[in-house]
Amino acid sequence: MTFAKTISLAVAAALALPTAASAQEQDSDVSEYRNYRYVLGANQTCELFNQPQIIAANFLAGEVKSRLKRRGASDDDLEKIDAYEQGVSVGTGCPSREDQPALWARVDNVRSVTNAFIMAPSYMKTDPEGCSANGLKKMPRKEWELLARTVRNKIDDPAIQSSVVSFAERIASNLDEDCPRPVFGRTGTSRLMRPALSYINLLEDANDAMQKKIGVSKSNWNNLYSMGSSFGGDFEEDGFWRSRKSFTALTDDKFIDVIGLRGSDETVAAATIRLRLDGTYSPQGTFYVDRKANFKAHIRYGVSGLKIVASDGQEFIFDRTMRTEGNTFLGKTRFTLPQQSRDALFKLEPETEIRFFLREKDDGAWKLYSRSNGKDSTVLVGWIGQAYQWGTKPSALSR
């Protein structure tokens, strides 16, 4: 059975909800597309899904969009049926189930469908270790089974659990077709593995963070590191994040990612920017905005200073709050931007470009965080604000 047919039989049925009686609304592809876009919009203003579920929902929305285009839908047609902004409006403030039953019916159905994608690799009849989302990272069946059990045990309703497992088995049959047994060491690939792979990355980051928090030596970490985290989590700043989103809207090589983070407690950064230089022993670091809107930075090196320079020439110099002895790659330094400087920076136009500079020694020159691949530390002020706002929206994951 093809993936498109699997979706038509299982997902369309799951998402069937009362709609207007127009011919357009009776079209199952249109209804599916509207539903996915609606709940993804609601997730923008209220945390409804974790990262793997978001990946699965975006994947499914993209599949349905492609089907509509193959049937002749234009970009204007798709814009007219897109319910994303409606979802943004309805999700604002995380309304209760009683106040917005239609929203929650859609959310519950999409959660079930996306959970099935996360569980699917464990139900493959062929060896899942021969299948990967990108042809590189692969894992034995026991780890996929652990993942499926983790997700399945969070579903309280036996009927819903049975339905999710049934759909997961359907998806697994598509995985079996996408990923035949490896030949001469080559690994099969399937995009359907992406949500499950993302969940494994979350588990690895959480385990990494927990080991650091309780002070276990890295050489004794007992974790899942069969593949490693895609994000390269930094627990000291990021904390236990559940979902993340890039707010870098331009593709020019000089721009780097501004990431919004959602997490389980006040220790999770709301926005973060990785500061990178070429060279293993160069001063690498992280700029982040905590959940109280404080601007902070952590540099894995003993350095003297850090500042932000705006494109209009204004400078915003950080206060150094901690530095280990010596300017060495074994040291670390922490910085905080004074509140007055932070407020002044936020008053800049959203399109204002800013860059990060560091000074390794007290009498040294300021050096731009820049790399040989053309990327320096350029971001737009507005992106930081957008990431912070997204990261601090209320959560309804437990509802």
Residue 229 lies in a domain: no
What pLDDT, in 10s, does the model give residues 58-92?
999 999 999 999 999 999 999 999 999 999 999 99
Residue 213, pLDDT score: 61
- 328 domain residue, yes or no: yes
- Indicate the number of domains in the chain: 2
The boundaries of the domain holding residue 367 are: 235-391
Q: Is residue 225 part of a domain?
A: no
The pLDDT confidence band at residue 131, using thresholds 50, 70 and 90, is: confident
Regarding whether 282 and 181 lie in a shared domain, the answer is: no
pLDDT, tens digit (0-9, with 9 covering 90-100), for 23-62: 444 488 999 999 999 999 999 999 999 999 999 999 999 9
pLDDT of 182 strictly over 80: no
Contact 271, 387 (CB under 8 A): yes
> 127-136, 189-198, 349-358 — which one is most confidently predicted on average?
349-358
In a domain, 180, yes or no: yes
Considering the domain architecture, whether residues 240 and 337 belong to the same structural domain is answered as yes
> Hey, which residues does 378 pair with through a beta bridge?
255
**For the ranges 140-144, 145-149, 180-184, 375-379, which has the lowest average pLDDT?**
180-184
Burial (CB count within 10 angstroms: exposed 0-12, middle 13-18, buried 19+), residue 102 = exposed
Asked if residue 185 and residue 239 are part of one domain, the reply reads no
pLDDT of residue 281 exceeding 90: no
Q: Tell which phi-psi region holds residue 72, choosing left (phi > 0), alpha (psi between -120 and 50) or beta.
A: left
Q: Which of 146, 167, 190 is nearest to 12 (CA)?
A: 167
pLDDT more than 90, % of the chain: 57
One domain for residues 269 and 343: yes
Q: What's the whole-number mean pLDDT along residues 151-159?
A: 93
Query: Is 198 part of any domain?
Result: no
Of 188 and 89, more confident: 89
Q: Considering 152, 169, 189, which residue would you say is the last residue of a domain?
A: 189
Are both 275 and 177 inside the same structural domain? no
Greatest Cα-to-Cα distance within the chain, rounded to the nearest angstrom: 73
- Interval 183-212 mean pLDDT: 74
Rounded average pLDDT over 238-258: 83
**Average model confidence (pLDDT) across the chain:** 84
Residue 293, in any domain of the structure: yes
Q: Does residue 396 belong to any structural domain of this protein?
A: no
Q: Is 327 part of a structural domain of the chain?
A: yes
Across 222-231, 266-275, 344-353, least confident range: 222-231
Instruction: Mark whether 12 and 99 lie in a shared domain.
Output: yes
Task: Report the first-to-last Cα separation within the chain, whole angstroms.
Answer: 35
Our separate counts of H helices and E strands in the chain read 14, 14
